[in-house]
Amino acid sequence: MTIARFWRETPQRYNLGGSRCSSCGSAFFPPRAVCPTCPEHRRSLGKMEPLQLSGEGEVYSFTVVHDPAEGFEMQVPYVLALVKTPEGPILTGQVVDVLPAEVHVGLRVQATFRKLREEGKSGVIHYGYKFAVAREEGREPVAPEGESVPEPRREGPRPART
Amino acid sequence: MSEEPVGIVSYGAYVPRYRIAPAEIGAVWGADGEAMGKGLGVFRKSVPAPDEDTITISTEALRQALARGRISPQSIGALYVGSESHPYAVKPTATVVAQAVGATPYLTAADFEFACKAGTAAIQTCMGLVKSRMITYGVAIGSDTSQGAPGDALEYSASAGGAAFIIGRERLLAEINATESFTTDTPDFWRREGQRYPSHGGRFTGEPAFFRHVGECGRRMMERMEMTPKDYRHVVFHQPNGKFPQRIGKTLGFTDEQMRYGLVTPYLGNTYSGAALLGLANVLDHADPGDRVLVVGYGSGAGSDAFDLTVSDRIHQFDRQGPRIQEFLDGGTPLNYALYAKFRGKIHLGGS
Ligand SMILES: [Zn+2]
């Protein structure tokens, strides 16, 4: 992808900026200039409003990629998902920091800002949204294997104020 | 003090999910990693995923700070990212972060670099701009994804994470009463342009470097404020490992209880520019109104920045949405050395 094209798409890729038709209320991501659902498309021209997606969503469908795209060799196997947002649009994105076996339809996710790809060792680095498992899923932290040291200090009695 | 107050309006933090234990690292290099970890006071360290870097960590930390403080990104007048692992040698981290949080285009932005104290230097700069009414809100971020050479002592501690502080005049969670610095030319730790891993002066990193600068700066701060160690509820030092901050704390006259929340490196590793700031974030997670807090950062090369803070009544109403520091301290997904090496780009593909 050229630098110019990627740069033009920065607002949606960085900030999940979509659009909403003020005639019929349909939401779109990436943003559209004309509403495809309104019976007369032309009437929606100039009536599309910016819509900020919250980044929340749940896995609608997903696939596990074993044969990576260029630049993703270090992440195999990785999960590519369709994520249904509460605002309406379905987004495509990688689900990160997760084992493929942990992903299921309905898994709640939250957009996170990540490196998408690098143009080799000397080129531009592209950034944008991916998805991480939402905190509401309550994943327990896993203490590193073989850790033979005291557990992190928990909440305890507080010292008297001096 | 009759001057207009300046302080912390909101804060956020981010630490990558993966962890590795010293024993796992030592096993690869024929060293007793467990003993190494105990010697350093580091039980595990965070590891960034292959798609994380200082830009992504800074962005996540600042997004949390903005959401918690309900601050419009468009009201940010200055944004500074302090790091020694900026992804580009030329092209600012700060512009990507500013764009990613929606703060562009009407703000000034820059990257700061001063080993591990670039984040505290950014706080000082924001204080000046806020106090002089040049800006309403300034953002200071300290964040790193630093690496030690494979097998080097640094490899047991160098980790990744960062924290973002929004500095302003009103709605303060904690007022910054004063700041103090102590700076000299000291060659304790460096990385030349184009070098993959840093070099350090071994034992020289201790006495003439960390201990002298943190000690002098901390003492001066207390003298100027006419405070003694027992007047502070919490103290935070830069923490390249678990041991240095505990030792300087004892030397200055602080107790373990005062250092309890400010010391996060044993469970996260050394997050460099993020270290003292993550310690401060953890203190604010647990602070009560009226608490006095002393923060003394350190950056090799060398310098220390100290801050004397008073926590305000607002701390109890502060909406700490998103993960608190304790969640990061509790652990994450463990990695073995092979995955760690792959994640950190220590495995070279195709002769590159
Ligand atoms: Zn429509």
pTM for this predicted structure? 0.93
pLDDT of residue A144: 42
pLDDT of residue A47: 86
- The span from the CA of A73 to the CA of A62, in Å, is 19
Sequence letter at residue B290: G
Q: How far is the CA of A38 from the centre of ligand 1 (A)?
A: 4
| Residue B233, SS3 per DSSP | coil
Residues 102-121 of B with CB under 8 A from A: 102
pLDDT of residue A148: 34
Quick one: average pLDDT of B311-318? Answer: 96
Q: Which token pair is B344?
A: 């950190």
Whether the bond between B150 and the residue before it is cis, its omega within 30 degrees of 0, is no
Find out whether B174 and B312 touch, Cβ atoms under 8 Å: yes
Q: Which token pair is A128?
A: 């944008």
What letter does residue B58 receive in the DSSP assignment? H
Torsional class of A90: left (φ above 0), alpha (ψ -120 to 50), beta (otherwise): beta
What is the mean pLDDT of each successive set of 10 residues along chain A, which is 162 residues long?
Answer: 80 92 93 89 83 96 92 88 97 95 96 92 93 89 43 38 35
Find out whether B295 and B281 touch, Cβ atoms under 8 Å: no
- Greater confidence (A155 vs B338) lies with B338
pLDDT, chain B, mean: 94
Residue located via tokens 């044993």? B266
Q: How far is the CA of A22 from the centre of ligand 1 (A)?
A: 7
Residue located via tokens 């969503």? A57
pLDDT of residue A142: 56
Q: Do B21 and A145 touch (CB under 8 A)?
A: yes
Digit-coded pLDDT (tens) for B52-73: 999 999 999 999 999 999 999 9
Q: Which among B51, B143, B346 is the top mutation candidate for probing chain A, defined by the most A β-carbons within 10 Å of its own β-carbon?
A: B51
- The span from the CA of B303 to the CA of B295, in Å, is 14
Indicate if the pLDDT at residue B186 is higher than 80. yes
Sequence letter at residue A58: E
Whether the bond between A39 and the residue before it is cis, its omega within 30 degrees of 0, is no
Nearest-neighbour CA in chain A from B331: distance (Å): 5
Per the DSSP assignment, residues forming a β-bridge with B104 are: none
Number of neighbouring beta carbons within 10 Å of residue A99? 10
pLDDT of residue A141: 60
Q: Give this complex's ipTM.
A: 0.94
Q: Kindly list the catalytic residues of B.
A: 84, 116, 238
Digit-coded pLDDT (tens) for B232-285: 999 999 999 999 999 999 999 999 999 999 999 999 999 999 999 999 999 999
Digit-coded pLDDT (tens) for A118-128: 888 889 999 99
Domain range list for chain A: 17-52, 56-137
pLDDT of residue B349: 65
